[in-house]
Amino acid sequence: MDRSPDDSCLSSIAPSSPSNLGAPYATGRPGKFGAGTGDIFLRMGRRVSQAFNLRPAYNKVNEEPLHGFQLSMSDLKDATSASKKTAGCLFTNFEDVRLTDEERVYLNAASIGDVGVIRMSLEDADSSPNFNVNCVDYMGRNALHLAVDSENTEAIEMLLDKLSFECIEEALLHGISKGLVKIVRVIIEHPNYMACEERLKRVDSKNSFFRTTEKSQFSPDITPLILSAHYNNHEMVQMFLSRSHTIEKPHPISCQCTDCQVKQDYDSLKRSRSRLNAYRALASPAYMALSSPDPIMATFELRQEMMKLAEIEKEFKREYLTLVEQCMNFACEMMDLCRGTQEVEAVISDFLEDGTNVRDPLGRLRLAIQFEEKKFVAHPNCQQYLTSIWYGSETAFLQSWTLMRKIGLSILAMPLLPLICVLYILLPSAELTRAMRCPATKFATHCISHFLFLILLSAATFRLEENYDIHEDYNADERTVRSWLEQNFRPNKAIITHVQVCIVLWIAGHFVAEMKHIYYAGLRSYMMSAYNIIIYCILALYMCSYTLRIIVYGWVRDSDVFFNATNRIEELIQRNESRLVKSMVEGWKSSTQSSASYFIEACPTSMSGNKI
């Protein structure tokens, strides 16, 4: 019974014919996938074979390359006839590579490192027009590629004299992928390679992007340095860096230049893959350690770029996040290499931005906190260095104290805090002043200062009230009269009291400290912290509140001057005419001078609480 093309296609990939697995596809034929798909299948088939390292056998002169096992010639003929019937199917035999007997012997000798046969083949190449020294097998592997697998240095040097640069480049990349440092050095130090090396030092991204290499297992944007960085081979990376090879950082993903637009329109997937390959090389620990003068800073910046790319190119989010984690692990491994405080300080410190040669001992750490590099900040070496700075040399003894002893010292120092602050200003070079500069001491003084501020707020908010009625005791003494006046008459001191003055001074000092913070850190960096925004809003509300208090204080003083209230009340109290005080105050309240009478009358809420 005749079989349909689909049946033939299935038979060509059946387990009984394993030689077809990974075989390339017929080219230039309109198969079942449509016209023009043959070339695509051809390239994909070669990559499948190369990815799984399917190696052919060249045991006999008249045999086609097989996948490591032998088939009879009849099997090969059957497979070939089946492929003719199923041109364009998913798995078909490869037909466009036609090797002569001499070329098969030549490739076989290269694969086993037979120097004598290779020399004879190269000598006969000039006299034989049908012999091509750049010939490839069904997987697109040339003689130098196969010689690299055999690791025969003499055979490789012999082939380097004859093969084209494209074949040399392909063999070089293959040697890098296998980690053959000695072979790679032999190739790059050969005169033929050095003559064309300038092409690889800085690949023209525009030309390489549009280049299509069917027989190569590597994409056109892969350079020797990029591939060495992918495998994180320190020796190879150093080898190419010493020869002035570089890796060009891709344009930002939002770049609107003509080159980026053309690439995006031509093949968006290829552009994304090319960018991913570049960042995979840039994030290599070997490349960052050997190429960057500041690997820690390069790690932080590269990590931020890839985190943004992970959010934009969600299709490759997992790959970019893996590279992000790789960068963070590299930064932590750099910290692991530090053996002393000086080395940790060299890693964490950074020069100030003002252009001077003064180093900020925590410059790099502040940047790590800004970039949310939690793993780096939490590293034990980093934390130990922070602890030494936290206590300083003057208060290092506190590090060994228990919590109760520290609390006791804070309680004893609380009453002396104003005096200590004055000494800090007047005697900046004193030993006590140097101890005040330690972060631990600053933290303790800030805590005490906030605690005292809460006490002042409580004193200003929750005042004890004494309610007296002047009519209940006609012989009321001066104290009773003044207590009644506190509830019904608004003197100047009810607006700005001594406690309020202390609160205003505290707020003014805190406001100056925040302004200094903005000056040194920058407004943008300051506003990035939600805590700073909350503090600024609280201070703004306090400033507005006490600004209004000062304005009201002026209005109350004008009302007091208008009625001459304070002096007249004092005269009545001195003459023991307390009964007239209430009637006089009630008369002021009912006066036709509405604004003056309003500000002379005490509001129960204001006088009972004086809330801020």
Q: Report the range of poorest mean pLDDT among 2-16, 211-225, 281-295, 459-473.
A: 2-16
Count of C-beta atoms within a 10 Å radius of residue 195: 10
Q: What does pLDDT average to over the chain?
A: 74
Q: Report the range of poorest mean pLDDT among 225-229, 352-356, 490-494.
A: 490-494
Question: What is the DSSP pairing of strand 350-351 with strand 359-360?
Answer: antiparallel
Helix ranges (H only) for 249-400 are: 258-266, 268-282, 285-291, 295-312, 317-336, 341-348, 363-370, 374-377, 380-391
Q: Report the range of poorest mean pLDDT among 215-219, 235-239, 430-434, 595-599.
A: 595-599
Torsion of CA 384, 447, 369, 536, to 10 degrees: -170
Greater confidence, 233 or 206?
233
> Facing residues of 142 across strands?
136
Query: Treating both helix axes as pointing N-terminal to C-terminal, what angle do 295-312 and 363-370 enclose, rounded to 10 degrees?
Result: 10
What DSSP letter does each residue of 113-157 carry, written as one string? Answer: T-HHHHHHHHHHHTT-TT--TT-B-TTS-BHHHHHHHHT-HHHHH
Greater confidence, 64 or 413?
413
Mean per-residue pLDDT, 457-478 = 56
pLDDT 10s digits, 150-175: 999 999 999 998 898 889 988 999 99
Q: How far is CA 256 from CA 261, 269, 279, in A?
A: 6, 17, 20
Question: What distance in Å separates the CA atoms of residue 549 and residue 192, rounded to the nearest whole number?
Answer: 88
Burial 156-166 (b: 16+ CB within 10 A, else e): bebbbebbeee
pLDDT 10s digits, 68-101: 334 444 443 444 444 344 333 333 334 456 788 8
Q: Judge whether 236 and 291 are in contact, CB under 8 Å.
A: no
The domain limits of the chain are 5-85, 392-461, 478-609
H or E element that contains 350: strand 350-351
Whole-model pTM over 0.75: no
SS (H, E, C) 515-557: HHHHHHHCHHHHHCCHHHHHHHHHHHHHHHHHHHHHHHHHHHH
The encoded tokens of residue 17 equal 């014919």
